[in-house]
Amino acid sequence: MTRKPYLREVPRLRWFFRHPRYLRYLARELTCLFIGAYTLLLVVGLTRLAQGPDAYAAFLDALGSPVGIAFHLLALGFSVYHSITWFNLTPKALPVQIGDRFVPDGVIAGAHYAGWALASLVVF
């Protein structure tokens, strides 16, 4: 008997439409672009600060413009989604065993949320 295995190719660009879980994964990954964009904005801000008070004032003006505010709202929304999806995954990567029991997932994810809240308070 001849063997002739048949391999069904995975579509390179459309595989994530096969199941909602792949779209959720892509959403988690792609939202990091907004965190990257915000980081770049901070770098631009520092550059403008180094260029003198006028340049920095112009930068602040740009931030307050409707486009600036819209970007911030968008970036905030996506960053929150990105952070929440990752924080909820932390119990998988960082299990803590005490004796013969594992610390509940909620405690590990909760510790990350608490750290987030604390860091936000410090920044304020």
Partner 1 sequence: MSERAVELEVLRYNPETDSAPHFQRYAANCREEWVVLDALNFVKENLDPTLSYRWSCHMAVCGSCGMMINGEPKLACKAFLRDYPGVIRVEPLAHFPIERDLVTVIDDFVAKLTRVKPYLIPKEVRSLDAGEYRQTPAQLKRYKQFTLCINCMLCYAACPEYGLIPTFIGPAAISLAHRYNQDSRDGGRAQREEEIAATEGVWECSFTGACSEVCPEHVDPAAALQQVKIKSTIDWYLAHTMPWLTR
Cα separation of 98 and 92, whole Å? 16
What is the footprint of partner 1 within residues 61-90 (CB under 8 A)?
89
Out of 43, 101, 122, 123, the only residue in the binding site for partner 1 (CB under 8 A) is: 101
Considering just the CA atoms, what is the radius of gyration of the chain in Å?
A: 22
What is the footprint of partner 1 within residues 3-62 (CB under 8 A)?
3-8, 10, 12, 15-16, 18-19, 21-22, 25, 29
Rounded to an integer, what is the distance from CA 6 to the centroid of its chain? 39
Smallest separation (angstroms) from partner 1 to the CB of 119: 21
Question: Which residues are CB-neighbours of 71 under 8 A, at least 6 positions away?
Answer: 37, 41
Smallest separation (angstroms) from partner 1 to the CB of 114: 21
Q: Please say which residue, 10 or 43, places its beta carbon nearer to partner 1.
A: 10
Smallest separation (angstroms) from partner 1 to the CB of 78: 18
CA torsion angle 44 48 54 60 (round to 10): 30
